[in-house]
Structure 1
C-alpha cells in the first residue's frame, strides 16, 4: 500500500524550481516529486549494479579497466 510523505519548510526558491520543472514536463508537482523520489530511491541500486559491472569487466579482461576505458568501449559499441 502506498504511503504519504509530507515535507515541511521547503524553501520558496526550491518550491518554485520544482513547480516550474513539473509544469515544463506537464506533470503536477506531486507526480513530479514522486517520480524524482523514486529515481533517488533507486540510485544506490544503480550504483551497486554499475560497480558490479566494472568488477566483472575487470575480471574478464584479467586486469584493471578504469572508468574511462569502460566508458570508451561502451560508447564505441554504441557507435557514438
Structure 2
C-alpha cells in the first residue's frame, strides 16, 4: 500500500536542483523523488555493513595480524 510523505522546510535551491535532476532523466519531480527514496531505502547503512563484515569474520575464524597487513601493503608498493 502506498503512503504519502511530506517534507517541510526544503530550500528553494534544493527543490530546484532536484527538479533539474528529474528533468535530466525526463521524469516528473514526484517520480524522481520516489525512485531516489526507493534506492535510498534499499542501500544498507554503514552500521549494517560493518555488522555483516564482523559476522563473516567471526564465522570464518580467520585472523590477520597488523604486521601481516602492513607487510602485504608494503609488498604491493615495491
TM-score bucket (shorter structure):
0.5 to 0.7
Is 1:19 matched with 2:2? no
Instruction: Measure the CA separation in 2 of the matches of 1:39 and 1:3.
Output: 17
Matched residue pairs, number?
Answer: 61
Which protein has the larger Cα radius of gyration, Structure 1 or Structure 2? 2
Partner of 1:34: 34
Q: Considering only aligned residues, what root-mean-square deviation do their CA atoms show, in Å?
A: 2.4
Residues 34-56 of structure 1: CA deviation (Å, up to 9, x unaligned): 1111222233xx232x331x231
Give the CA deviation at 1:29.
0.4
Using structure 1 for the length normalisation, give the TM-score.
0.59
Structure 2 residue runs without a partner (length 5+): 70-78
Q: Secondary structure at the match of 1:20?
A: helix
Partner of 1:7: 7
Structure 1 residue runs without a partner (length 5+): 70-80
Instruction: Measure the CA separation in 2 of the matches of 1:64 and 1:42.
Output: 32
